[in-house]
Structure 1
Amino acid sequence: MPYPDKLLADDEEVVRHLHPHWLTISWPIVAFLLVVGAATFAAALVPDGAQQGAVRMAIAGVALALLAWSVLVPLLRWRTTHYVITTHRLLFRQGVLARSGRDIGLSRITDVSYRQTLWERLINSGTLTIESAGDSGATVLRRIPDSDGVQQLLNHMMEEDADRRAREAAGYLHGWETAQPTARF
């Protein structure tokens, strides 16, 4: 299913829908393994006795709280961050409980650049900086997978949008001119 249809205009289509690079969630996976391993080890070290069950439950409770904070929250942030390129605009949405977003019309974008560190080049990720007309300044999108490809795609989509607008304007002018009665001499 494409990006929520309620956000799209009738003649608008999703060209590319991205989340931050998958390595964004690599540390939460490592944290998951460490917390589960440490909790299991700690539960095994609890001596036999009347309090064994309560101590193991306390260890499990602490482990669950750590998992929620170090694994679940980052995974939800990753999953609820959307970078969507459509035929008319760039949409950026983020947030789990409180949401924020920005839409930039392709015709308003003045410059798209990307930056990659050596590590980001190796994993095919990077940072996009999008300059647009208006008072809001540059939009910086971090950890974009295939950032150089996305930059080229945005430039291509900006050209197609300009061509589409020119065709619509020409069609409007042409339709207006043909609707006028012609003078006969």
Structure 2
Amino acid sequence: MTGDWWFRRDDETVAWTGRPRLSAALGGVVAGVATAVVALLAAAAVDPRIAAATPLGVGIAGWELLRVKRTEYVITSRAIWSKRGVLGRTVRRVGLSQVQNTAHSQSVTGSAFGYGTVTVEVAGGPDLELRRIDDPQAIRREITDRTGSGDAGLPGTVEQWRAVLSVVRDIEAAVE
């Protein structure tokens, strides 16, 4: 299963595919419909030429819907892919070896309805956000499990921690 916008190597497996919820377009659709309705009401009450603004409102609503429908995300065993764009297309691939940290956030409505945003901090580049996706905690866990950056163990070796302990004891002795 390879889309026309991303590629998969022979040993690579797809862990998750998704897109933002359609509700992500709600604000733009409401603004577009409101613009069209106001234009029609103003045209009826003031001047019929104002109705020429109606296509603007319809265009705003359509643009927002297309923006959400043309956004896709893919997580494989090697990378995280993001595609977005209406007229053009922006595709971004982040190798799992470049992932430094992950986080997820949910608004009040996101918590109530089970959607949110997963933010992936990328080494040497801008963060990648998977916006308004279902079950962001599970998606974050999927990425964390594949990067091996979970909180399973402490960083460093036993010798390094003993050296840190020695320095802390020296500082404590110097302060006393």
- Could you say which TM-score interval applies, normalised by the shorter chain? 0.5 to 0.7
- Which residue number in structure 1 is paired with residue 91 of structure 2? 101
> Alignment partner for residue 110 of structure 1, among 100, 110, 117?
100
The amino acid that maps onto 1:80 is R
Contact 1:94/1:101 (8 A) holds in 2: yes
| Deviation at residue 146 of structure 1 after TM alignment | 1.7
Equivalent-residue separation in structure 1 for 2:36 and 2:87 (angstroms): 27
CA RMSD, 1 decimal: 2.9
Note the alpha carbon deviations across 1:105-153, whole angstroms, 9 max, x for none. Answer: 1233232211223232113222222123x32153334333321121112
| Deviation at residue 5 of structure 1 after TM alignment | 6.9
- Which residue number in structure 2 is paired with residue 66 of structure 1? 57
Q: Which runs of 5+ in 1 are unaligned?
A: 48-54, 160-185
| Deviation at residue 90 of structure 1 after TM alignment | 0.2
| Deviation at residue 157 of structure 1 after TM alignment | 3.2
Secondary structure of 2:20's partner?
A: coil
| Deviation at residue 40 of structure 1 after TM alignment | 5.6
> Alignment partner for residue 85 of structure 1, among 57, 75, 96?
75
- When Rg is computed on C-alpha atoms for both structures, the one with the higher figure is 1
Please identify which structure carries the higher helix content: 1
Secondary structure of 2:119's partner?
A: strand
Deviating above 4 A after TM superposition, structure 1's stretches of 4 or more consecutive aligned residues are: 35-47
Change (3 A) 1:135 1:33: closer
- Which residue number in structure 1 is paired with residue 18 of structure 2? 18
| Deviation at residue 75 of structure 1 after TM alignment | 1.5
1:157 equivalenced with 2:158 (yes/no): no
Number of aligned residue pairs: give it.
Answer: 148
Q: Which runs of 5+ in 2 are unaligned?
A: 149-176
TM-score normalised according to structure 1 size: 0.63
